[in-house]
Copies of this chain bind each other. A is one copy, B any other.
Amino acid sequence: MLIVQKYGGTSVGNPDRIKNVAARVAKYRALGDQIVVVVSAMSGVTDNLIKLAKEIMPLPSEREMDVLLATGEQQTIALTAIALHALNVPAVSLTGPQAGIVTDVVHTKAKIHNITPKKVHELLKQGNVVIVAGFQGETPEGQITTLGRGGSDLTAIALAAALKADLCQIYTDVDGVYTADPRIVPTAKKLEEISYDEMLELASLGAKVMQSRSVEFAKKFGVVFEVRSSLNENPGTIVKEETKSMEGVVVRGVSLDKNQAKITLVGVPDKPGVAARIFKALGDATVNVDMIVQNISHGTGTPQTDISFTADKPDLLKAQKVIDGLKSELGLREMITAEKIGKLSIVGVGMKSHTGVAGKLFDTLAREGVNIDMISTSEIKISVVIDLAKGEAAMKAVHAAFIG
């Protein structure tokens, strides 16, 4: 079997942990598997480098930040190879560029353009474990790039696709994907498997396991991967295309995102182009808008409507400034902001073929005395914005109602 294993920054955070990773890799290899290991920078290294750069200049050049930050992963690959040598396992490290990872030129958040893993294949064939630096690549012109947040997961999944690996394992500090955050819902269960779409919804809903882009990539190229812990031997959660059996389960997970703020624009002229103008301006200011709800228009003369949207809490001030700038131009009447909100979501591919899920959710919340502020649905999820103070109690009740 050809296995791609990815270890994050905490798993390789110091020499002893790197030795642990090497021991795990050696165990798989002893079973006769070919192994490609993708590693992140040791935890803390990247933050220190960013701090150094910002001491020199508050907004350093993105090209140079890529040159700087790529060193973190390069250090880990060398140390991991050395740790395997210490166990008498032949191992060779490759930087992202050496592994054939070619990206576009968007520094600090480059997209993988293609992978030519010729060298990886050669080294595997010679019997080596191949250690590849996550998070990095180079442009066709040879400039160093990094892939942005979650970049090492992406490297692992893209390599698994390019190498046609039999298995891709994402090692992290949690046991897998849970039906809800176990710190809030003690009865939360680890899922044996989950579909790409469900995982995507969970990722975008505040479950911190993985960034959406890696899951999207895996879905696009059909890479089956497993999220599991580097601290124990427990099987993790398999992420794959949905199967018939999955659809039998209505709700796969419950999440609560406490990091959103709500902005309501009152009295928005209901004519073509106004919403586009607003959300284009927010996008240009890199405000990450999530839910958008628009009610039917009302009033006489030019009809008016109310638009509510949520955005990441740290972006709230930026969003307010954008809206203030548009107020007179668009004739907005009023802007109301709310920070003490929570977005509670239920996710499951089974939902689309089951009726009554929304009703059951709303009923459960009503019984808990939770008022619903906004509703947004997709084929496989329902999200509601509620009072933050009631968020955790609501989450437990909803988990109990749908999952147990």
Contact = CB atoms under 8 A, between A and B. Distances in A.
A12 to B, nearest CB: 11
A81 B61 contact: yes
Contacts of A397: none
A65 B78 contact: yes
17 contacts: A15-B52, A15-B55, A56-B79, A56-B83, A60-B82, A61-B85, A64-B82, A65-B78, A67-B95, A68-B75, A68-B79, A68-B82, A71-B71, A71-B74, A71-B75, A95-B144, A98-B142
Contacts of A142: 98
Nearest to A51: B15
A83 B60 CA distance: 9
Contacts of A265: none
B93 A78 contact: no
A92 to B, nearest CB: 8
A194 interface: no
A88 to B, nearest CB: 11
Contacts of A57: 82-83, 85-86
Nearest to A16: B55
Contacts of A61: 81-82, 85
A85 to B, nearest CB: 6
This protein's copies in its complex: 2
A60 B85 contact: yes
A72 B72 CA distance: 10
A18 interface: yes
A67 B78 contact: yes
Contacts of A86: 56-57
Nearest to A119: B142
Interface string A345-374: 000000000000000000000000000000
Contact of A64 (B19, B49, B81): B81
B74 A18 contact: no
Contacts of A52: 15, 75, 79
Interface string A154-187: 0000000000000000000000000000000000
Nearest to A74: B71
A53 interface: yes
A224 interface: no
Give 7 nearest A-B pairs by CB, closest first.
A68-B78, A71-B71, A67-B78, A15-B55, A57-B86, A64-B78, A60-B82
Interface in A47-105: 49, 52-53, 55-57, 60-61, 63-65, 67-68, 70-72, 74-75, 77-79, 81-83, 85-86, 92-93, 95, 98
